[in-house]
Amino acid sequence: MARTHKDVEFAVDDASGNERIFKTWDQAAGFAVSLAASGRRTNIDILVYSEAGARALYGDDGVERYREDPEASVFERIEVRANDVGRVP
């Protein structure tokens, strides 16, 4: 998901429960992983506002998915968790 598109955003709730919006996957994923590493399970919500945005991320399959429910509040949700397994010898 290295691409950006004007009709695509990535949303992550911060530790206070406030929604943070990112324009790139890398920024959202980095923020979500840092929250998960601190013991919080979090989500990355992929927000798509047009067929063009869906195509930019997922090609023709994305367009089909978008057309199924163009009013969906979240196009796709990724749950992020970190499991601290301690020291590895």
pLDDT-derived band at 16 (thresholds 50, 70, 90) equals very high
pLDDT-derived band at 19 (thresholds 50, 70, 90) equals very high
Q: pLDDT (tens digit, 9 = 90+) per residue, 21-76? A: 999 999 999 999 999 999 888 999 999 999 999 999 999 999 999 999 999 999 99
Provide the whole-model pTM.
0.88
- Spell out the domain ranges in the chain: 8-80
SS3 74: coil
Q: Is 75 exposed, middle or buried (0-12, 13-18, 19+ CB in 10 A)?
A: buried
